[in-house]
Amino acid sequence: MSAIRAHRRVGVAEAKATFSEVLREAARGPTVIHSRGRDLAVLLAIDAYEQLATDRSRGAGTGAAFLGRIDAIKRRHGGGIDEFSPAAMRFRAIDPFAQRSARNR
């Protein structure tokens, strides 16, 4: 798929009247079709649809698939930040009702 762009929104009447143009635009990025303020459908380029279908069949929504995508990003950007160790958080718990009850007395 090419560079991601903000999706276009068209009403049903406009989509029907300019269907050829809407199809050409869908090749550049998703087009949302709406009616009376509600999104009804998304028109996608075939390559974007095939990518979604392939991801779904491979279990792209699973935790293992997510971790696989994270590993791919780390490899693409030089190995990631395995040696990174954030500073420990220090906080003091405060009872929000203790202050309020003291003021109300």
- Distance of alpha carbon 29 from alpha carbon 23, whole angstroms: 10
pLDDT digits (tens, 9 = 90+) for 7-66: 788 999 999 999 999 999 888 888 999 998 888 888 988 888 888 777 766 665 677 777
- Distance of alpha carbon 38 from alpha carbon 19, whole angstroms: 19
Phi, psi at 29, each rounded to 5°: 170, 170
DSSP run (H or E) holding 21: helix 19-26
- Distance of alpha carbon 2 from alpha carbon 81, whole angstroms: 28
What's the token pair of residue 40?
A: 């009804």
Domain 1-44 fold is YefM-like fold (3.40.1620)
Check residue 35 and give its pLDDT. 92
pLDDT digits (tens, 9 = 90+) for 54-102: 776 666 567 777 777 777 777 776 666 666 667 788 888 888 787 555 5
Q: What are the sequence ranges of the domains in the chain?
A: 1-44, 46-77
